[in-house]
């Protein structure tokens, strides 16, 4: 006991930095503290939090703020340390953290890193352009460095380094940062960064963001912001101040932040958006989906891709109001949430095409056949690149389903244009595979993105084999046999990353059912399933129009399957999934109590309860 006292006294007198370890509190402190005064010697705040080093023995006070900024940590906070990627952060229970979202964070780091390369390549190109103009104006002028200080060789040599400040680097805003883990990782792992701002409207979260900035030595590129995410973006919507990248990872739906996001991102900038309100987007609450996203979701077999496409049409509609439009880079349905990466551009001419990239969806309530009703079409007129825009013609389906006689439900509008940029996806895969410091979820990123590369880019939505077979009450053909039938008939077919056993095809629904009629000839349905008026009977009694061959086609096995990539998630940990909204455990002062009140009003409208 005496030795312990002596050790502590020694440390406090000599102001040695301390790494504290206890059962529930583990944290590293960068600053030195005055033990006897029980206040932080750096900021002399008597209100700094006390974390016990040794339970029931002694309490010490720490603070990681720069001198002169008094601050307080909650007295009752239990602090945990989390290590992910290159980051080590501390956070109390009252600040949100979901370990399963590591995949989301890893993927985002890979995407933004690739985006940063494009950013530097563009800057380099425009600098070269300027340089050659200057040269042609005055051949004696030598331009060694750009006016803006960009080293022209930085991109050529691919020597951008993470953790370093780049004057011409990318500016990133994380609107809903919680502990700042994601932003800290951005700062440490993404090469070519100028600024990372981690924002949260929770006071405790921001205190921990600051602590984590200091603990990870990121003061030169990262800072915190305390306030509403939308306001943080509106403040930076002027052209000079816009962000290159905005990351939004809210509880539930991001809809409250989208108007600000599409304005605060620079021309060609990147939005990274998570939606964890999967139930709403997948048709459990179409009215809520309509209110939040301006589109009706359908509870269909293809709901996971439909959810992605609803988010994209919503983003594009928001952008259109400001003469801007989106270009999706990667749009994914993952586990229990959606994550989309889109670039936002300005251009009135392109905005006119936006309505042609959206469609309503008809889905038969009996057999699940679906058809897309485009909202508008572009008709070429005189002069290159000129179009006249017309409302879509329809309906594309009859009063009842031509396959089973049931009625249709109408959903949408959805984004009906491509949802991924395959060249970009290839670059991300290559970068993830060759990264000397591999991401924790590297295998899954490569597996899922390889599936994305295989997806038919021009075919929205898909069929699910189990569902099609359950309509007919028949046995399931092997996926390779089914795919062969489409390929042998000259149609294209692919999986979708959004669902196992899915198939996308450019074949008409008539052929989809012809394949099943042929299959049922060899694998008959029991007679009791052929009741009068049943969907099974209606479909199987219809004459088969096309010839179908199940002979194995050489491309029947998708490459991602052949080489055994990790394509769909296996359970990463027990009870994984959305995490409940973080609960506040600390005492709040009067102002944060007020804030809490208005927050709950916002939250009421804004978000569902889980992430
Ligand atoms: C799901 S957590 C963010 C998780 C974090 N991005 C990560 O990867 O660990 C959502 C955070 O948003 C914050 N938040 C909710 N509404 C907000 C608003 N309007 N403005 C700023 N922050 C908000 C909450 O306090 C919470 O910390
Ligand atoms: Zn039908």
- pLDDT tens digit string along 477-495? 999 999 999 999 999 999 9
Q: Determine the average pLDDT of the residues in 359-378.
A: 98
pLDDT of residue 565: 73
Q: Determine the average pLDDT of the residues in 124-141.
A: 56
Q: What is the pLDDT confidence band of residue 385, given thresholds at 50, 70 and 90?
A: confident
**What is the rounded distance in angstroms from the CA atom of residue 494 to the CA atom of residue 40?**
61
Are β-strands 222-226 and 193-200 bridged in parallel, bridged antiparallel, or unpaired? parallel
Cα-trace Rg, the chain? 28
The domain ranges of the chain are: 2-76, 103-135+150-354+416-421, 427-562
Q: What is the DSSP string of 465-494?
A: HHHHHHHHT-PPPPHHHHHHHHHHTT--EE
Distances (CA, A) of 260 to 233, 254, 267, 271, 481: 6, 11, 14, 11, 49
Q: Determine the average pLDDT of the residues in 597-609.
A: 36
Classified by CATH at the fold level, domain 427-562 comes out as Phenylalanyl-tRNA Synthetase; Chain B, domain 1 (3.30.56)
Which is the closest atom of ligand 1 to the Cα of 257? 19
Q: Which ligand is nearest to the CA of 107?
A: 1
121 φ, ψ (degrees, to nearest 5)? -65, -40
Tokens, residue 43: 């900021």
Token look-up 């670039």 returns: 343
The answer to whether residue 234 scores a pLDDT higher than 60 is yes
The model's pLDDT over 284-333, given as tens digits with 9 standing for 90+, comes to 999 999 999 999 999 999 999 999 999 999 999 999 999 999 999 999 99
Q: What is the pLDDT confidence band of residue 72, given thresholds at 50, 70 and 90?
A: very low
Q: Of the candidates 112, 65, 169, which has an alpha carbon nearest to the alpha carbon of residue 343?
A: 112
Expressed in angstroms and rounded, the spacing between residue 267 Cα and the centre of ligand 2 is 44
Whose CA is closest to atom 18 on ligand 1? 228
Q: Determine the average pLDDT of the residues in 158-162.
A: 83
Expressed in angstroms and rounded, the spacing between residue 284 Cα and the centre of ligand 2 is 21
Domain 103-135+150-354+416-421 classification at class level: alpha beta
pLDDT of residue 122: 84
Q: Which ligand is nearest to the CA of 397?
A: 2
The answer to whether residue 265 scores a pLDDT higher than 70 is yes
Expressed in angstroms and rounded, the spacing between residue 176 Cα and the centre of ligand 1 is 3
Expressed in angstroms and rounded, the spacing between residue 499 Cα and the centre of ligand 1 is 28
The answer to whether residue 167 scores a pLDDT higher than 50 is yes
> Mean pLDDT for the chain?
82
Whose CA is closest to atom 6 on ligand 1? 177
pTM: 0.81
pLDDT of residue 564: 73
The answer to whether residue 472 scores a pLDDT higher than 60 is yes
The model's pLDDT over 391-400, given as tens digits with 9 standing for 90+, comes to 999 999 999 9
Q: What is the pLDDT confidence band of residue 14, given thresholds at 50, 70 and 90?
A: very low
Most confident residue range from 136-145, 403-412, 569-578:
403-412
Which is the closest atom of ligand 1 to the Cα of 104? 8
Which is the closest atom of ligand 1 to the Cα of 228? 20
Q: Which ligand is nearest to the CA of 536?
A: 2
**Pocket of ligand 1 from Cβ distances under 6 Å:** 96-97, 101, 105, 175-178, 181-182, 199-202, 205, 228-229, 249-251, 611
Are β-strands 243-248 and 265-275 bridged in parallel, bridged antiparallel, or unpaired? parallel
Expressed in angstroms and rounded, the spacing between residue 392 Cα and the centre of ligand 2 is 23
**What is the rounded distance in angstroms from the CA atom of residue 566 to the CA atom of residue 574?**
19
| pLDDT higher at 20 or 249 | 249
Whose CA is closest to atom 11 on ligand 1? 176
Q: Of the candidates 272, 268, 290, which has an alpha carbon nearest to the alpha carbon of residue 280?
A: 290
| pLDDT higher at 499 or 59 | 499
Say if CB 521 and CB 477 are below 8 A apart.
Answer: no
Q: Determine the average pLDDT of the residues in 69-94.
A: 77
Q: Of the candidates 229, 238, 121, which has an alpha carbon nearest to the alpha carbon of residue 183?
A: 229
The model's pLDDT over 572-591, given as tens digits with 9 standing for 90+, comes to 666 666 677 776 543 333 34
| pLDDT higher at 154 or 216 | 216
Expressed in angstroms and rounded, the spacing between residue 282 Cα and the centre of ligand 2 is 20
pLDDT of residue 21: 30
Q: Of the candidates 480, 541, 549, 492, which has an alpha carbon nearest to the alpha carbon of residue 515?
A: 549
The answer to whether residue 334 scores a pLDDT higher than 80 is yes
Element (H, E) at 171: strand 165-174
pLDDT of residue 131: 59
**What is the rounded distance in angstroms from the CA atom of residue 60 to the CA atom of residue 53?**
7
**What is the rounded distance in angstroms from the CA atom of residue 326 to the CA atom of residue 344?**
5
Mutation test of ligand 1: which of 91, 101, 176, 197 has the most ligand atoms closer than 8 Å to its C-beta? 176
Distances (CA, A) of 255 to 48, 275, 303, 414, 417: 37, 9, 19, 16, 21
Q: Is the ipTM of this complex over 0.90?
A: yes
Which is the closest atom of ligand 1 to the Cα of 176? 12
Whose CA is closest to atom 13 on ligand 1? 176
The model's pLDDT over 504-545, given as tens digits with 9 standing for 90+, comes to 999 999 999 999 999 999 999 999 999 999 999 999 999 999
Q: Which ligand is nearest to the CA of 276?
A: 1
Q: Which ligand is nearest to the CA of 85?
A: 1
Whose CA is closest to atom 22 on ligand 1? 200
Expressed in angstroms and rounded, the spacing between residue 606 Cα and the centre of ligand 1 is 12
Expressed in angstroms and rounded, the spacing between residue 207 Cα and the centre of ligand 1 is 14
The answer to whether residue 34 scores a pLDDT higher than 70 is no
pLDDT of residue 563: 75
pLDDT of residue 452: 97
The model's pLDDT over 168-213, given as tens digits with 9 standing for 90+, comes to 999 999 999 999 999 999 999 999 999 999 999 999 999 999 999 9
Mutation test of ligand 1: which of 104, 172, 250, 580 has the most ligand atoms closer than 8 Å to its C-beta? 250
Which is the closest atom of ligand 1 to the Cα of 179? 9
Whose CA is closest to atom 25 on ligand 1? 202
């Amino acid at each position: 006991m005496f030795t312990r006292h002596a050790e502590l006294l020694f440390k406090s007198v000599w102001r040695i930095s301390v790494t504290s370890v206890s059962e529930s509190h583990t944290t590293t402190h960068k600053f030195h503290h005055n033990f006897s005064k029980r206040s932080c010697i750096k900021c002399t705040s008597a209100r700094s939090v006390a974390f016990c080093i040794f339970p029931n023995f002694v309490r010490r006070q720490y603070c990681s703020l720069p001198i002169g900024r008094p601050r307080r940590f909650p007295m009752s906070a239990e602090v945990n340390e989390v290590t992910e990627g290159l980051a080590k952060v501390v956070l109390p229970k009252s600040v949100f953290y979901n370990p399963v979202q590591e995949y989301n964070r890893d993927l985002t780091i890979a995407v933004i890193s690739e985006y940063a390369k494009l950013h530097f390549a563009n800057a380099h190109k425009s600098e070269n352009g300027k340089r050659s103009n200057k040269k042609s104006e005055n051949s004696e002028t030598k331009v060694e460095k750009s006016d803006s200080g960009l080293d022209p060789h930085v991109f050529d040599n691919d020597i951008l380094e993470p953790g370093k400040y780049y004057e011409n680097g990318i500016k990133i805003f994380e609107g809903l940062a919680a502990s700042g883990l994601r932003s800290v990782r951005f700062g440490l792992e993404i090469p070519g960064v100028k600024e990372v701002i981690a924002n949260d409207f929770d006071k405790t979260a921001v205190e921990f963001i600051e602590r984590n900035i200091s603990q990870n030595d990121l003061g030169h590129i990262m800072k915190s912001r305390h306030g509403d995410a939308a306001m943080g973006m509106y403040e930076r919507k002027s052209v000079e101040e816009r962000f290159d990248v905005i990351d939004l990872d809210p509880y539930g739906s991001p809809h409250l932040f989208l108007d600000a996001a599409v304005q605060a991102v620079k021309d060609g900038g990147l939005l990274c958006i998570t939606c964890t309100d999967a139930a709403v987007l997948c048709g459990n609450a179409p009215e809520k989906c309509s209110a939040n996203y301006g589109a009706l979701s359908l509870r269909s077999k293809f709901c996971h891709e439909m959810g992605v496409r609803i988010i994209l049409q919503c983003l594009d509609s928001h952008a259109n109001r400001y003469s801007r439009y989106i270009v999706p880079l990667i749009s994914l349905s993952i586990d229990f949430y959606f994550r989309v990466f889109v670039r936002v551009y300005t251009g009135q001419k392109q905005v006119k095409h936006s309505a042609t990239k959206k469609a309503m969806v008809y889905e038969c309530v009996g057999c699940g056949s679906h058809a897309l009703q485009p909202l508008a079409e572009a008709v070429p007129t005189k002069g290159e690149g000129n179009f006249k825009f017309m409302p879509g013609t329809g309906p594309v389906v009859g009063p009842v389903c031509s396959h089973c006689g049931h009625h249709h439900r109408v959903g949408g509008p959805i984004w009906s244009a491509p949802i991924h940029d395959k060249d970009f996806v290839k670059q991300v895969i290559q970068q993830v595979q060759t990264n000397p410091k591999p991401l924790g979820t590297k295998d899954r990123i490569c597996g899922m993105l390889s599936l994305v590369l295989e997806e038919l880019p021009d075919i929205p939505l898909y069929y699910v084999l189990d569902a099609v077979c359950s309509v007919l009450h028949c046995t399931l053909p092997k996926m390779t046999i089914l795919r062969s039938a489409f390929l042998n008939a000259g149609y294209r077919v692919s999986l979708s990353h959004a669902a196992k056993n899915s198939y996308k095809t450019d074949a008409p629904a008539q052929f989809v059912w012809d394949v099943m009629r042929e299959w049922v000839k060899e694998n008959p349905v029991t007679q009791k399933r052929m009741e009068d008026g049943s969907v099974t009977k209606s479909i199987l009694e219809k004459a088969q129009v096309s010839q179908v061959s199940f002979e194995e086609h050489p491309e029947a096995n998708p490459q991602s399957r052949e080489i055994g990539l990790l394509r769909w998630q296996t359970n990463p940990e027990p009870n994984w999934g959305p995490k409940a909204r973080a609960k506040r455990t600390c005492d709040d002062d009067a102002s944060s109590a007020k804030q809490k009140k208005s927050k709950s009003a916002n939250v009421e409208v804004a978000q569902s309860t889980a992430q």
